[in-house]
Amino acid sequence: MTAVLELRGVDAWYGNTAVLRGVTLDVQDGGMVALLGANGAGKTTTLRAICNMGVRTRGEIRLAGQRIEGQPTERIARLGVGHVPEGRGTFLGLTVDENLRLGGYLRRDRKVASDTSKMFGYFPVLRDRLFQQAGTLSGGEQQMLAIARALMSRPKLLLLDEPSFGLAPILVQEIFRILRVINQEERMAMLVVEQNARLALDLVGQVFLLETGRVVASGPPQQIAADESVRRAYLGQ
Amino acid sequence: MQALLHQLLSGLANGAIYASVALALVMIFKATHEVNFAQGELAMFSTYIAYTLIEAGLPYWVAFLITLIFSFVTGIGIERLLMRRIQGKSQLTAVIVFIGLLVAVNGLASSLFTSSIKPFPSPFPSQAWYGTTYLSPHEVGMIVVTLVVLGIVFAFFRFTRLGLAMRAAAENPASSRLVGIRVGWMLALGWGLASVLGAVAGMMAAPIVFLEPNMMGGVILYGFAAALLGGIDNPWGAPIGGFMVGVLENLAGAYVVGSHLKLAVALFVIVAVLVFKPSGLFGRTVVVRV
Amino acid sequence: MTAEIPKATIAGSRPIRLGRPVGPPVLLVLAVLAPFVLSNYHVFQLSQIVVYAVAVLGLNLLTGFTGQLSLGNGAFFAIGSYVSVILMTRFGVPYWLTPVLAGAVCFGAGYLFGRSAARLEGLYLALATFALATAFPQILKLDRIEGWTGGNQGISITKPSSPLPSQLSNDQWLYFVCLAMAIALLVIAWNLVRGRTGRALVALRDHPIAAATMGVDVASYKSIAFGVSAAYTGVAGGLGALVAGFISPDSFTILLSIQILVGCVIGGTTSLYGALFGAAFIELVPDLTKKLSELAAALDFPALSLKLADSSPAVLYGILLIVFMMVMPDGLAGLVRQVRARLARGASHVRT
């Protein structure tokens, strides 16, 4: 099994401030990985480093074996990375339909229409609101739209930045359930950044723990959860 | 009553020109949050190109088309070579660069084509069947051409993949990159289209105001007024603003301030909008950010 | 002695530096001696430079204190010119007093403008002032005020004559009048920059929200800044009218506002001495293209010579505006400062 994503010794800066130091992590093909840590640990920065969004990096970042560090963001998207960013990044002034079409912007094949139907299968509410302005959707609906948009490009790797943020627990559970289904049905690799460690641990097969820009622990969720110090620091036990 | 109708319709005809200029301004503003002060001069330069082609013997509409292509390419060139470099800089810097562009293009036109006033042909013959007592054939032609061009532009943005990508790039460049859109080139295309709109305005206006380097000096002011009135970030507002300003200019000129103070009408609209309703009639951006 | 309004920079602001004052006395001596060695035409040009310098200073003060750009200072220059001329021709006010009064009137106009345009910032202020400058000549030609302004024809004045005709020619006398006023204004500006009002304005420029929450009347201070800027420009206008001897609405097109902008950018947008560089540039560059044209003719390039003779300095202005903003945003004054700093650093290295 090849790794879809490999980070080796990645350092990252905003301006002159170093935010990541020597981050090393893997996402296997079809795997689900969570990146956990406290506020400011560098989780979002890691995702932005992968997509080269406003952060300078040093070190190796590989997508399916190909080096992508320093490439323009749009090129990395073309290579097969779907990113649901912090704040969802919805095109608020455009309709749901237009948002989805933009998700499929790179697709030139004919299966786009069927993929759209598939999205409606996962997120029926999007069909109901298809021609509404995206800005009028609720938080949960926008989150679903953001995920659907990222999926429309049939990425090799899906990055999700705090998909649970600001959402009611029931909604979060539903979204996580759908993510698991997508991962199983499409065998799509996912890297999920989460503050809500408990939920993430249920979802994924591998966890990396970030603390002030460094990976301090990694392993299967059961192992991480069993670790006394981790539990105290991050799981509030 | 007849006179009023005449002023109204004539105002609509002028408004067609302002509508094109306003849309060009709004397009660039939406994408970059900058006002293209040099829009008028670029349009003037394009008109000179058309003139040169026509003088060289090319039929009007062929020259028209080639000029549009020239303007498109020039617009892209200016964005890629110049505007891209001032992207991170302050608004002050951007404004000064735009003024510099305005001045340079004006001077270039003077140098290359001399500042003597030249007549510019209208493709709409003065005895044509569609002339009425209220509107000359050229005025009718101006309105029709403008509406056709505006229609094409709006359809492009609404129904094509590229148009959607450009709208997305203007609204949310970061998210656009995430879906694979080359935002830089979208901006360049926006500039290209805006230049095309400007060229159309210039070629429609030239038969009336005559071709000389300062011909767009007043027109651009009305363009600003129209863009602001319609809402500086609303592409639909721009044509509406354009026609409104055209009519307002004529009515105010005929009945209120006299034809010699027409520019002051534009100034008045600009200041009034900025002071009382900065987002214009249909705009969303709040001009003063705290 | 670098007179510099502290720039708002991202990496901390630059304090006002008071080095050893070598420049100004030398400059002063040169300024006083120059008219005696130059022809009358060149003295006339020097007067123009002084006039432009005051106008550019007006814009520098505005930009420095408010961080805002006005493209409409040509309008205040025009008002200053007309007020000055009307006072002279209609009311018999002595010529040396008229620029001062013109400045006072313009202070009022600028203050009022600042008050009403208080909400306009950045791009929108630039837009509004651009519109003002473009529409102004038309306003000046208004029938209703033609009695005062002379309409399209404009007004001529008899240029002031020298009180010491054997020692000083008229041109030389007029130059010294301009120079004296300019120096006085420069000193006032310098004190303004260093003084309490100046510091308050800079603080306001850099932290407007904080200032407002502390109860400072931001609009009032901004209006004062506009008033001062307009006043300087108005005095320049008054002096300019005396030097030119004739004014008409078409002397005050948008090009004038752009020329002042060019002078401001080339000299350095917040530098007081930069105003001199900028003014010299505005006055001498059109001459330069003429000289280049003659050179081209002499070197046997008749087509090039014709092109140069025909062309306005506009292309050069435009290119320089763009280039300076991208490469030398602090203008020539900034360049001089950098060079001096580097030399000082070099000297201190030698000492240790």
Q: For residue C145, list chain B residues with Cβ-Cβ distance below 8 A.
A: none
pTM, to two decimals: 0.87
Which 8-state DSSP code applies to residue A77?
Answer: H
A55, A90, A96, A105: which to substitute to probe chain B, counting the most B Cβ within 10 Å?
Answer: A105
- Among A101, A134, A152, identify where a domain stops: A152
CA angle C137/C143/C148 to nearest 5° reads 80
Q: Is residue A67 domain-shared with residue A167, that is, in the same domain?
A: yes
Is A86 part of a structural domain of the chain? no
CB nearest B221 (choices: C131, C307, C315): C131
Each residue of A144-192: pLDDT tens digit? Answer: 999 999 999 999 999 999 998 888 888 888 889 999 999 999 889 999 9
Q: Is residue A35 domain-shared with residue A15, that is, in the same domain?
A: yes
How many structural domains are present in chain B? 1
Query: Which token pair is B97?
Result: 């660069």
Specify the pLDDT at position C19.
Answer: 36
CB C134 within 8 A of CB C78: no
Is A85 part of a structural domain of the chain? no
Backbone angles phi, psi at B109, to 5 degrees: -65, -45
CB B202 within 8 A of CB B43: yes
CA distance C290 to chain B (A): 14
Query: Which token pair is C178?
Result: 């301009």
CA angle B70/B72/B76 to nearest 5° reads 115
Specify the pLDDT at position C349.
Answer: 52
Each residue of B46-59: pLDDT tens digit? Answer: 999 999 999 999 99
Q: Is residue A144 domain-shared with residue A190, that is, in the same domain?
A: no
**Other CB atoms within 10 A of residue C318 CB:** 25
CA angle B148/B154/B157 to nearest 5° reads 140
Specify the pLDDT at position C170.
Answer: 81
CA angle B203/B118/B226 to nearest 5° reads 40
d(CA A39, CA A197) in angstroms, rounded, equals 12
Q: Which residues of B touch A (CB under 8 A)?
A: 161, 164-165, 167-168, 171-172, 174-183
Is A105 part of a structural domain of the chain? yes
CA angle B236/B240/B243 to nearest 5° reads 150
The dihedral through the CA atoms of C24, C30, C35, C36 has a sign that is positive
CA angle B84/B90/B91 to nearest 5° reads 90
Q: Is residue A45 domain-shared with residue A14, that is, in the same domain?
A: yes
Is A221 part of a structural domain of the chain? yes
Is B228 part of a structural domain of the chain? no
Residues 215-234 of B with CB under 8 A from C: 217-218, 221, 224-225, 228
Each residue of A8-49: pLDDT tens digit? Answer: 999 999 988 999 999 999 999 999 999 998 888 899 999 999
What band does B179 get if pLDDT is binned at 50, 70 and 90?
very high
How many structural domains are present in chain A? 2
Q: Is residue A69 domain-shared with residue A185, that is, in the same domain?
A: yes
Residue C65's alpha-carbon distances to B76, B257, B273, C90, C269, in angstroms, are 36, 37, 26, 36, 11
CB nearest B179 (choices: A53, A72, A153): A153
Query: Which token pair is C134?
Result: 């473009």
Is B275 part of a structural domain of the chain? no
Is B156 part of a structural domain of the chain? yes
Specify the pLDDT at position C106.
Answer: 96
Chains touching A (at least 3 CB pairs under 8 A) are B
B162, B171, B175: which to substitute to probe chain A, counting the most A Cβ within 10 Å?
Answer: B175
Q: Is residue A167 domain-shared with residue A226, that is, in the same domain?
A: yes
Is B15 part of a structural domain of the chain? yes
Task: Supply the range of the domain harboring residue A139.
Answer: 91-152
Domain ranges of chain C: 23-351
Hey, which residues does A32 pair with through a beta bridge? A190
- Among A127, A152, A177, identify where a domain stops: A152
Specify the pLDDT at position B287.
Answer: 47
Residues whose CB falls within 8 Å of the CB of residue B143, separated by 6 or more in sequence, listed in order: B12, B13, B16, B135
Each residue of A101-153: pLDDT tens digit? Answer: 999 998 877 777 888 888 898 899 999 999 999 999 998 899 999 999 999 99
Specify the pLDDT at position C51.
Answer: 94
For chain A, the average pLDDT equals 89
CB A189 within 8 A of CB A160: no
Is B204 part of a structural domain of the chain? yes
Is B75 part of a structural domain of the chain? yes
Specify the pLDDT at position B180.
Answer: 93
Specify the pLDDT at position B241.
Answer: 95
Per-residue model confidence as pLDDT tens for chain C (352 residues)? 445 666 543 323 333 333 334 567 777 787 788 777 778 888 888 999 999 999 999 998 888 878 888 999 999 999 999 999 999 888 888 888 999 999 999 999 999 988 887 778 788 899 999 999 999 988 888 777 777 777 788 888 888 777 777 777 788 888 888 999 998 998 888 888 888 777 777 777 777 777 777 776 777 888 888 999 999 999 999 999 999 988 988 889 888 999 999 898 888 776 777 888 889 888 887 777 777 777 777 777 777 766 666 666 788 888 888 988 888 777 777 777 777 777 777 655 544 4
d(CA A3, CA A30) in angstroms, rounded, equals 9
Specify the pLDDT at position C16.
Answer: 36
Instruction: Search chain B and give the residue with CA nearest C310.
Output: B111
Each residue of B241-254: pLDDT tens digit? Answer: 999 999 999 988 88
User: ipTM for the complex?
Assistant: 0.91
- The bridge status of strand A189-194 relative to strand A32-37 is parallel
Of C241, C93, C239, C245, give the one whose Cα is nearest residue C157: C245
CATH number, domain at A75? 3.40.50.300
Is B113 part of a structural domain of the chain? yes
Q: What three-state secondary structure class fits C103? A: helix
Specify the pLDDT at position A195.
Answer: 81
Specify the pLDDT at position A235.
Answer: 57
Q: Is residue A167 domain-shared with residue A122, that is, in the same domain?
A: no
- Among A152, A168, A184, identify where a domain stops: A152
Q: Cβ–Cβ of B174/A89 closer than 8 Å?
A: yes
Q: Does domain C23-351 have CATH number 3.40.720?
A: no
Each residue of B93-133: pLDDT tens digit? Answer: 899 999 999 999 998 998 888 888 999 999 888 777 766 77
For residues A200-223, b (16+ Cβ closer than 10 Å) or e, as one string?
bbebbebbbbbbebebebbeebee
